[in-house]
Amino acid sequence: MIKSQRINVFQYVPFLRGVLRSRLFQPVLTISTLFFFTLAIVTGLFGTPVGNRNFGIVFVWIVWWGLLIILLVPFLGRLWCAACPIPVPGEWLQRRGIINRRKGRLSTLRWKFPKRLRNMWLQNFGFLGVAIFSAIILTRPEVSAWLLLGFSLIGIILSILYENRVFCRYVCPVGGFIGLYSLMSPVEVRVQDPQVCATHTPKDCIIGNEYAYGCPWMVFPGTLERNTYCGMCMECIKACPKNNVVINLRPVGSDLMVAKERRLDEAYKAFIMLACALLYSVVLLGPWGWLKQWANMDTLPHWLAYAGVFLLANLLLLPGLFTLTALLSQRLGRIQLPLRQLVTDYAYTLVPLGLTAWIAFSFSLVFTNGSYALGVLSDPFGWGWNLFGTTESTWMPFGSALIPFLQTGILTTGMLFAVNTAYKIAGQHTPNPRQALRGMLPVTGFIMSITFAFLWLYLG
Amino acid sequence: MKRELVTIFIVVFILVGLPVGVFLYQRQQSNPDSAERAIHIQAAVPESGGFQPAAIQVNAGETVTLRFSSVDVTHGIAIGPSLGIDLGHVDPGHVKEVTVTFDKAGTYTFYCNTWCSPDHWRMRGIVEVTDPNNPDAIPTAYRDPIIERLVAEGVNIDANVNMGMADHPQGDTLTFEQPPSIEKGQILAATLSIPVELEDAEWRLSHTPMEGLELLTDQNPSTPMNDLIHVIAYLWVLDTPSEDIQWAENYYNKNCAACHGQTGDGNGPAADQTAESPVAFGDAAYMFGMRSDVLYAKIRRGGMGTDMPNFGTLLTPEETLKLVGYLWQLAWQSRAG
């Protein structure tokens, strides 16, 4: 049934397989983004400290962010991870090359990454660590540049210590939520026939061969059922001697129903992302200037209070309220499942809601501030250059009248999708549709409350 | 292998060539002519450090391009004295520049002339212009005959002086129900006997209108004193060219109005942030007891402990006198309050 809902893209666009099998595919992406990444670092460190006149701020936190959350993640899942320039210096060091497949194992110290950390918790705390400084990072080019450089440095160090993309898989704060939200993506890298993989003992996709490296994300494509940890680097497509790995189009959000791989660390990622979207909307888009100042560390006590409330809301308040909701659902639906597991399962209803909330937030951010990009294209450092004659272009919010409609539309879509997901998840734990319906009611209430909170914030 | 090498070259080019290229391009942009130097000066409110760099060195006769950018709020950039450079507003992240040749050795000041923060008046930087033949000698002080004369006279410039009104026997009988009118004064002056001192600009510089009124009353005893006030108003702005007034009004509005008020009411938007209440030049009664040379000295030296900054490093003596002339205009227009 599920298979029948997939469309193998290679069948309709045969040359795509050739493109993705080329060893040039990923380097072309990463070297292109490395150019902009380097420019963002250099402008951040040496350009004007005025955020909206600095390429490093405008192109990273407005242009890239907008592309990522509005287009890439919803439509192409983790494809950004294949193009991301941050981990590539480390990866190139491991591989002792950029394009070609070098013989032999990766050059690392071959340490074993601790089992306890092989999950999303580091990414959760890393994201929160960055999030509490976000008002500063998003506006101060130098801080932003050091943060990006720091990520790259951590990537290099981890690549020296461990094999493969440990940084991307377990550490990168951005990769965590891209992974979670890529569950929604209508695109996937999957094997056509798992039986082929089961009987193909060499497992080229894991250990690599003369054409490709073994999966850098430490995933076995043969049993891959969700997008979360597939970095879409296409090494498995290159490696598979049976041409069994393909790109599929599929119904949006298909991965949400894969019950066996649901985990608390991912559930917490969903809580954190939703809470952050709500808090960012309050702090960065809301009318409370004093709150923005607190987040901007006008005084240390103010910022500490802000950070404390921020962390509390993310780690206790929202998960706590959601746990109460799940408890209510458990009672109403007479669901025979431990509460912890039920909370974890239901948390996946917050994936569509969180993603659409971030898209709605980003509409405001990108449409309102996108015009800054024209100015910094011509004068990326704020040094008075005028490379393309657009330096003096004025700030002009785009589609101000349209934004509330887009936000309402996307949030409503997310809410309906989330409610539908809640019903399906409840149905996975009870065979009785009426019980499932009763069980989903509290979760529906929670989802609707959060949606209305967003709508109230955006529409006033 | 060739493909790999080309890729490595591209990567190295991005990681090394891009930053190096940027700085070479900036150097070339800053230095279109090898003989001309460009200096980038970043402006921030004084609470965040003011101008960076706050001092620059230039050789006399050297042509330099000064590029100002703001990193926080809108600033106004001017350079003085005597250069007449006013770049207007510099918005955050934008750059404005001026190419200037400093002919003479000395110290010039670049400063903000748009109220930008409570410490706005401290927002200054200096250009030290040295004679390449004698680089150690920068003229830093010069004689100011007006101030020297005040000091010799024993006038305490730093005190809140109002000379003449209180001491004058008729000082408290004066009323200013009608603001002193320059036009009325001009008509009346044609019918009166004007003491020779009052027609002497030098005398008026060092005396108060009250003292002038005393002389005028002595010579015209039958004319009501409130009529003579108009004549004094007229005499105190005598021979002031209109272009000087225009220049001074513009300068006053940019640099003084924030505290003293655009109408001279002493109640500008920043008036409540100064250590002492700013003087109301539009208060005719107050100005009747004030001397031009004292106003001149206060403008040039600043007011000790009052938050009144010195303008002596920004204005030439001649420019300062133009500004004083405008203060009398404010006084007689009596727009105070």
Give the chain B residue nearest A89 (alpha carbons): B11
| 3 state SS of B321 | helix
Contacts A29 to B, Cβ<8 Å: none
B4/A97 CB distance under 8 A:
yes
Task: Give how far A155 is from chain B: nearest CA, Å.
Answer: 16
Asked if pLDDT for residue B169 goes beyond 90, the answer is no
Task: State whether residue B10 sits within 8 Å of chain A by CB.
Answer: yes
Asked if pLDDT for residue B334 goes beyond 80, the answer is no
Q: What is the pLDDT of residues B289-325, one digit of tens each?
A: 899 999 999 999 887 778 888 899 899 999 999 999 9
Integer CA distances (angstroms), A71 to A10, A24, A178, A185, A438, in order:
22, 24, 12, 10, 35
CA B118 from chain centre, in angstroms, equals 18
Task: Give how far A57 is from chain B: nearest CA, Å.
Answer: 13
Task: Give how far A274 is from chain B: nearest CA, Å.
Answer: 33
Integer CA distances (angstroms), B44 to A142, A161, B51, in order:
16, 44, 6
- Model confidence at B336, pLDDT cuts 50, 70, 90, reads very low
Which strands form B37-43's sheet, in the order they lie side by side? Answer: B51-52, B37-43, B63-70, B95-101
What are the residues whose beta carbons fall under 8 Å from the beta carbon of B294, sequence distance 6 or more? B150, B155, B157, B161, B163
Task: State whether residue A395 sits within 8 Å of chain B by CB.
Answer: no
Contacts B24 to A, Cβ<8 Å: none
Nearest 5°: phi and psi at B31? -135, 60
Q: What is the pLDDT of residues B260-281, one digit of tens each?
A: 999 999 999 999 888 888 999 9
Residue written as token pair 């785009």: A398
Nearest 5°: phi and psi at B272? -80, 0
Contacts B8 to A, Cβ<8 Å: 98
What gap in Å lies between CA A52 and CA A49, rounded to an integer?
A: 9
- pLDDT value, residue B300: 92
B142 against A253, higher pLDDT: A253
- pLDDT value, residue A204: 95
What gap in Å lies between CA B100 and CA B98, rounded to an integer?
A: 6
Nearest 5°: phi and psi at A239? -80, -30
The encoded tokens of residue A340 equal 């912890």
Q: Which of A98, A382, A385 sits opposite B93 (nearest CB)?
A: A382
Per-residue pLDDT, averaged over B141-164, amounts to 80
What gap in Å lies between CA A429 and CA B69, rounded to an integer?
A: 63
Cβ B18 vs Cβ B10: under 8 Å: no
Which strands form A187-191's sheet, in the order they lie side by side? Answer: A7-8, A245-249, A187-191
Give the chain A residue nearest B1 (alpha carbons): A100
Task: State whether residue B211 sits within 8 Å of chain A by CB.
Answer: no
Task: Give how far A238 is from chain B: nearest CA, Å.
Answer: 18
Cis peptide bond prior to B81, omega within 30° of 0: yes
B15/A383 CB distance under 8 A:
no
The encoded tokens of residue B91 equal 């918005």
- pLDDT value, residue B139: 67
B29/A382 CB distance under 8 A:
no
Contacts B71 to A, Cβ<8 Å: 48-50
What gap in Å lies between CA B309 and CA B305, rounded to an integer?
A: 10
The DSSP bridge partners found for residue B56 are B127
Range 34-73 of B in CB contact (< 8 A) with A: 40, 67, 69-72
Residue written as token pair 């060092």: B206
What gap in Å lies between CA B220 and CA B226, rounded to an integer?
A: 12
A381/B26 CB distance under 8 A:
yes
| ipTM here | 0.91
- pLDDT value, residue A265: 97
What gap in Å lies between CA A440 and CA A416, rounded to an integer?
A: 13
Contacts A382 to B, Cβ<8 Å: 69, 93-95
- Over chain A (460 residues), what is each successive 10-residue block's mean pLDDT? 78 96 97 98 94 95 97 97 98 95 92 97 97 94 97 97 97 97 98 95 94 96 96 97 97 94 96 97 90 93 97 98 97 93 97 98 94 94 91 86 96 98 94 92 97 92
Task: Give how far A392 is from chain B: nearest CA, Å.
Answer: 8
- pLDDT value, residue B306: 82
Asked if pLDDT for residue B333 goes beyond 80, the answer is no
**Segment among A140-149, A199-208, B140-149, B208-217 with least mean pLDDT:** B140-149
Q: How high is the mean pLDDT of chain B?
A: 87
What gap in Å lies between CA B214 and CA B325, rounded to an integer?
A: 22
- Model confidence at B164, pLDDT cuts 50, 70, 90, reads low
| 3 state SS of A429 | helix
- pLDDT value, residue B337: 38
- Helical segments of A77-140, H only: 79-83, 88-95, 121-131, 134-137
What gap in Å lies between CA B213 and CA B194, rounded to an integer?
A: 10
What is the per-residue burial (b if ≥16 Cβ within 10 Å, else e) of A339-371?
eebbbbbbbbbbbbbbbbbbbbbbbbbbbbbbb
Give the chain B residue nearest A54 (alpha carbons): B93
- pLDDT value, residue A1: 41
What is the per-residue burial (b if ≥16 Cβ within 10 Å, else e) of B157-183?
beeebbbbbeebeebeebebeebbbbe
- pLDDT value, residue B31: 62
Query: Quick one: what percent of chain B has pLDDT higher than 70?
Result: 91
- Model confidence at B163, pLDDT cuts 50, 70, 90, reads low
